[in-house]
Structure 1
Amino acid sequence: MTRKIDTILFDLDGTLINTIDLIIASFEHTLKVYFPERDYSRDEVVSFIGPPLSETFGRLNPGQVEEMIQEYRRFNHTNHDDLVTEYAGVIETLESLKKEGYKMGIVTSKRRDTALRGIELMNLGSFFPVIVSLDEVTKYKPDAQPVERALEGLGSEADQAVMVGDSEHDILSGKNAGTWTAGVSWSVHGKAHLESFSPDVMLESMTDLLDYLKTRT
């Protein structure tokens, strides 16, 4: 018998809050500083979104990873509040989930201070007693560890939880931890790309999550 889902875990960037313009601009700025003669296409920049900055910059420029991270973060923090926006239906969905008693957490590859800034800007803090960020783990999505930490913090079991995200790292992290998984069609990587990793459900809007959960009662 299928057990009822009682826990929802969310990625942050590109899932709950629209930070895509900010992230792309931050990458473009940093790449221009360190590779002034190299023009990166938007598709190339988008391909960098998902893993921790250390992993991305480690592939591009192993000798200056920390410097590139600091440059990225300076630009990102300066422009954060101007470029971050909300996704339609997110607050409505979170309010419904909270009212119905679901346990909720955030699993992000951002540092905690930066993640909290976005969460506070979009007034999401009251929904999430557990936030697992880059600072709390030694292994990153798609490894299971971040999702497992969130489940532990919420006192939840994997087979009663769903991981919601906009990248393959979110889907694979959930699968590796044994949760159900939900992809979001507004992923910057494209719906088809995300579907290729076989999430259990693809959400066309965040409110679709409520309909999915009704099928799992």
Structure 2
Amino acid sequence: MRAIIFDFDGTLANTLPICFYAFQNVFKKFDNKDLSSEEIKDMFGPSETGIIRNNLSNPNKEEAIEYYYEKYSEHHKSLVVSNLEILELLKSLKELDIKIGIFTGKAKRSLDISLKALDMDGLFDVIITGDDVINPKPDSEGLLKALSILEVINSDTIYIGDSDADVIAGMRANVFTIGVQWLPEYQTSTFSEQPNLIVKSVKEFKSSLKVGV
């Protein structure tokens, strides 16, 4: 194994509450709609900008996108808590000379906000966001792009995510795919396509890799 690529929201950070909050504010302000977390989750796939452009009825979509980032940034500190266990995992993988990356549907702008806030900035060897692909998850385009940049082959790579779209993208890219449910909030409780492994805790994942706990 030479590389591990992670999804972000619900996998590396418990950012789902801030995502839901920001989207709920956008749709309430611009469409006067009260959306549940589940209704927002059903829109996931494209980046935040794609979600707003595809689902908002109000024509002021660029203004709505700016409002999303305003809310996302303004309340990040209160709604997203840094997970030291995951941070230590990432650092331990780097010490083992394992390349680590992110493949997320999230837009670069919001990912940058989160990485800086959670002290993860500069840790990753490759980052592919929703802005970097034509076809969002469950398409494997972004994952294959990450492998190419890292110069690793699929049999030497693990992809880790918390949603059906992550698992399907990993399987399509023919990499070892792990579904995780190790954070308080994750996207999928039952995967429609079975990943190679389901992991319930960071400690369990470390044990499976023989990484020091």
Fold shared by both chains (TM-score > 0.5): yes
Contact 1:46/1:188 (<8 A) preserved: no
1:57-86, Cα deviation, whole Å (9 max, x unpaired): 344336634443333222212222332222
1:120-179, Cα deviation, whole Å (9 max, x unpaired): 221223431211123322222211111111111111111211111111221122112111
Give the match for residue 11 of structure 1. Answer: 7
Give the match for residue 57 of structure 1. Answer: 52
In structure 2, relative to structure 1, the CA distance for the partners of 1:146 and 1:33 (3 Å cut) is same
How far off its partner does 1:183 sit? Answer: 1.1
Distance in 1 (alpha carbons) for counterparts of 2:38 and 2:178 = 24
How far off its partner does 1:25 sit? Answer: 0.6
Superposition RMSD in Å? 2.3
Give the match for residue 79 of structure 1. Answer: 75
- Counterpart check, 1:200 vs 2:169: no
Gaps of 5+ in 1: none
Gaps of 5+ in 2: none
Give the match for residue 95 of structure 1. Answer: 91
- Counterpart check, 1:29 vs 2:21: no
Look up the SS of the partner of 1:105 in the other structure.
Answer: strand
Where do 1:1-217 residues align within 5 Å? 5-36=1-32, 38-61=33-56, 64=59, 65-87=61-83, 89-185=85-181, 186=183, 187-192=185-190, 195-214=191-210
Which residue identity lines up with residue 40 of structure 1 in the other structure? L
How far off its partner does 1:91 sit? Answer: 1.6
Contact 1:163/1:179 (<8 A) preserved: yes
Distance in 2 (alpha carbons) for counterparts of 1:58 and 1:209 = 37
TM-score, reference length from structure 1: 0.84
Which residue identity lines up with residue 22 of structure 2 in the other structure? S
Q: Percent identity?
A: 28
Which residue identity lines up with residue 11 of structure 2 in the other structure? T
Contact 1:8/1:161 (<8 A) preserved: yes
83-92 or 55-64, which moves further after superposition? 55-64
126-135 or 54-63, which moves further after superposition? 54-63
How far off its partner does 1:99 sit? Answer: 1.8
Look up the SS of the partner of 2:159 in the other structure.
Answer: strand
In structure 2, relative to structure 1, the CA distance for the partners of 1:125 and 1:56 (3 Å cut) is closer
How far off its partner does 1:201 sit? Answer: 1.0
Look up the SS of the partner of 1:181 in the other structure.
Answer: strand
How far off its partner does 1:17 sit? Answer: 1.4
Contact 1:47/1:189 (<8 A) preserved: no
Look up the SS of the partner of 2:102 in the other structure.
Answer: strand
